[in-house]
Amino acid sequence: MRDRSNSKESLSFGMAWPGSPVEQKRQPASVPSLLEAMQRVHAEAEQLAERAYDAIQHHAFDPFREFCEKRTEYEALISVLRSRVGPKPRDPRWPAAIDKGERDLLALSIKACVKFCFALSANPMLPIGVLETFLNEVEMLKSAREQLTPIKDQEGISGLLDEIDMALMILEEIVGNAPALEEF
């Protein structure tokens, strides 16, 4: 068994375990670096959404799941940012940037879901597992509608609400017609 306590290797490669001297010296990421990470993750989510749309047309759902995982990563990053900024931010622009990031994620999720729904609705024979895969999207859309309805008069929000309604209508039809795993 190798001793990792204070070897040069563990210090030079940044290997650490919770409570180790190296771990204790780490500083939390700064808000500006987290905001940059938020932009990077959003760009990655956009690319994954495009890849997922192409894959869904060929009954491949792994890229869609990767998109959902990236969306979860983005949501977690927003949560970390909100806690890091706190109620009294050092820079008054930070809360607005976080709010914008959250709205951008919501818009991306809705637009991607609409594209996914249209791609799925074009297929008369849906593969097994579609039901289970897209039940979470129905919940995401319902949650998005709840978030956006109070601010429906803001620019672009009413269009997103219309897209939510359209996606829900298509998804509910898809979910109703899709074979469930438990049927087999």
pLDDT at 103 over 80: yes
Q: Average pLDDT of 147-168?
A: 91
- Say which CATH topology domain 31-183 has: Methane Monooxygenase Hydroxylase; Chain G, domain 1 (1.20.58)
Inter-residue contact 39 to 98 (CB < 8 Å): no
Higher pLDDT among residues 105 and 119, named by residue = 105
- What's this model's pTM, rounded to 2 decimal places? 0.76
pLDDT (0 to 100) of residue 175? 74
First to last CA, the chain: 49
Model confidence pLDDT, tens digit, residues 21-77: 655 566 777 889 999 999 999 999 999 999 999 998 887 888 989 999 999 999 999
Of residues 79 and 5, more confidently modeled: 79
pLDDT at 25: 62
Domains in the chain: boundaries: 31-183
Show the tokens assigned to 163: 């897209």
CB of 52 closer than 8 Å to CB of 116: yes
Residue carrying the six token digits 């996914």: 116
Q: What average pLDDT does this structure show over 154-174?
A: 89
pLDDT attached to residue 12? 47
Residue 128 has pLDDT above 90, yes or no: no
Lookup: tokens for 23:
């771990």
| 101, pLDDT greater than 70 | yes
Pairwise pLDDT comparison (97 vs 119), residue with the higher score? 97
User: Cβ atoms within 10 A of the Cβ of 110, count?
Assistant: 24
